[in-house]
Amino acid sequence: MSTQEKKPLEKVCMICAKGSLEDVYATLVMANGAVMEGIETKVFFTFFGLDGITKKTMNQLHTATTGNPAMRMPGGLPFPTVLGGLPGVESAVSSMMRKQMEELDMPPVDEFLEMITAGGGEIYACKLAIDMFKLTKDDLSDEVSDILTIGQFYELCDGDRTQIIFT
């Protein structure tokens, strides 16, 4: 057996720059998982990722039905791109995805954010993107602790055993 000392992660910093259902959930699952493991966790939402923490959009995120080669019909057949472009298809597919996640006890985004902050995780929004999309702090989930520049976020990411993950 190796005598080398184990050096567990102490802090995880995540940056979510995309706003599709799966991008936001990947971030939330990893962030919540880190909090549950006792790892200090900070998440920075920027650009379209802001949809994941904006009150109006966060519980209605979509998964792309066009330009998504991994998209399958129920049963496993390829999902024709032409079909994906029809009105309503993306909404229907997205709500089906949400339903399947709910079955695995994955909460809606607002509740997921609450779970992360309940365990001490911190949620931040990117100042540049907030200005660009003309949003204010009031548009964001109450779980968002602050609006930061990327420089301020990097300052929070100090420490030897810290990892930054970009999703």
Least spacing, CB of residue 163 vs another protein, in Å: 17
Least spacing, CB of residue 22 vs another protein, in Å: 14
Report 113-132 residues binding another protein (CB under 8 A).
114-115, 118-120
Q: Are 163 and 8 in contact (CB under 8 A)?
A: no
What are 165's strand-pairing partners?
Answer: 14
Binding of residue 159 to another protein (CB under 8 A):
no
Binding of residue 164 to another protein (CB under 8 A):
no
What is the four-CA torsion angle of 125, 127, 131, 133, rounded to 10 degrees?
-30
Q: Which of 17, 64, 97, 106 binds another protein (CB under 8 A)?
A: 106
Which is closer to another protein, CB of 25 or CB of 79?
Answer: 25
**Whole-Å CA distances, 138 to 39, 113, 143, 156:** 29, 16, 11, 23
Binding of residue 108 to another protein (CB under 8 A):
no
Q: Are 128 and 46 in contact (CB under 8 A)?
A: yes
List interacting residues with another protein (CB under 8 A). 29, 32-33, 36-38, 104-107, 111, 114-115, 118-120
